[in-house]
Amino acid sequence: MVRGSVRVLFAAGLVLAAPFFVREPPAAGDAPAVIRIETSDYDLSAEPYYGVAAGIFARHGIALEFLPAVEGGANMIRDVGAGKADIGFSNLISIAGAVQAGQPIVLIAPAGLYERKDPVNAIVVAPSSPIRSARDLNGKNISSPSGPGSAGALAPAAWIDQNGGDSTSVHFVTGIAPMDLPAALSAGRVAAGEVGDPQLTLLRQRGEVRVLAAPFDAEGDNYLLAGFVASKAWVAANPELARRFVAAMTETAQWANAHRAETGRLLASRLKLTQAVTDAMSRTEYAETLTPETIQPPLDVAAKYGIIKPMKAIELLHP
């Protein structure tokens, strides 16, 4: 796996690399700085929870205030831009689209990588569905967490086209929560849906869905799926706190990647899952750094489909 060597944070026109921007930790008597953070209910976005449980954020003088979980990266970007959250989790495609639209946000830390050997997302159908191929999805409705123009719609579209179907005939719909997908499939509201772990494994173990494909394979291997964004105004107003957050995320990624059993128990407790689910599900490998090599592949696919204009990975890292 390519991890890279530099986590980059652009703020106030300065390029800051992790080995140089970590200052002395706050004194023991100092009150921790509060960061309001918005994530979703996936292992992919759970890294901050793990860092809190491991005491990493406390060591960096940070108290994370977790806001209610939100579905859809575009929604979390909206909340960060509106000042409802200081930092938010989002898929890379929604981040790129927001940056190109002129929204004043900056990608400050990576989340998980996509690895073909252990896919964390799937296109699923009802167990008795006649759909067996990409071509069978032509003309159908597919549930996507963020709807058209998102990573959850882009990957299925690319997979459909690469495997003999026609994504232009498919209709992507949003607003269906992962655990409500079986009912939507049964009622015929959608013919398929894109869902990630742990909900994917839970639905499979209940026998409520059948996996059709791993759609994110169509975008490549070992690339960044998502990250954490902040508004440029927040970073400019809190440069030292932003630096500490980035440093804590780097340390958390290292810890979480090396402690799968512990993070599995934490995820099970937080989402009220059985140990059988967390033991069986695909686990996220967290990126320790932001690197152009892991950011570029999904941007290229998104540009091909007209979701964003062609762009270089470095553009997400500039103010």
> Is there a common fold for 8-115+222-317 and 121-219?
yes
pLDDT at 41: 83
- Please give the average per-residue pLDDT across 254-264, as a whole number: 96
Question: By CB neighbour count within 10 A (0-12 exposed, 13-18 middle, 19+ buried), where does 238 fall?
Answer: middle
Q: What is the pLDDT of residues 165-190, one digit of tens each?
A: 999 999 999 889 899 999 999 999 99
Q: What is the dihedral of CA 121, 127, 133, 134, to 10 degrees?
A: -50
| pLDDT score recorded for residue 69 | 76
- Judged against a pLDDT cut of 90, whether residue 208 lies above it is answered with yes
pLDDT, position 21 = 38
What pLDDT score was predicted for residue 146?
66
User: How confident is the model over 117-137, as a mean pLDDT?
Assistant: 96
Residue 126 has pLDDT above 90, yes or no: yes
pLDDT over 60 (residue 89): yes
198: cis peptide before it, omega within 30°? yes
> CA nearest 282: which of 163, 197, 173, 189?
197
Helix ranges (H only) for 33-120 are 47-53, 56-59, 73-81, 92-100
Instruction: Look at 273 and 212; give whichever has higher pLDDT.
Output: 212
> Taking each helix axis from N to C terminus, what angle separates 260-271 and 239-258, rounded to the nearest 10 degrees?
110
CA distance 262 to 258: 9
Determine the average pLDDT of the residues in 32-55: 94
Task: Kindly list the domain boundaries of the chain, sorted by start residue.
Answer: 8-115+222-317, 121-219
Place of tokens 């639905």: 203
Kindly report the number of other CB atoms within 10 A of residue 31's CB atom.
8
The model's confidence at residue 198, banded by pLDDT at 50, 70 and 90, is confident
Calculate mean pLDDT across residues 216-229: 94
The per-residue pLDDT for 19 is: 34
Query: Given a cut of 60, is residue 15 above it in pLDDT?
Result: no
Which of 3.40.190.10, 3.40.1130.10, 3.40.1160.10, 2.40.420.20 is the CATH number of 8-115+222-317? Answer: 3.40.190.10
More reliable by pLDDT, 73 or 275 = 275
Report pLDDT for 120.
Answer: 87
Mean of pLDDT values over 194-210: 93
Q: What is the mean pLDDT of residues 184-211?
A: 94
For residue 29, name the pLDDT band (cuts at 50, 70, 90).
low
The CATH code of domain 121-219 reads 3.40.190.10
* Residue given tokens 């005939």 in the structure block: 169
C-alpha span between 59 and 55 (Å, rounded): 6
pTM: 0.84
3 state DSSP class of 262: helix
For residue 299, is pLDDT > 70? Answer: yes
| Higher-confidence position of 4 and 148 | 148
Q: Would you place residue 148 in the very low, low, confident or very high pLDDT band (cuts 50, 70, 90)?
A: low
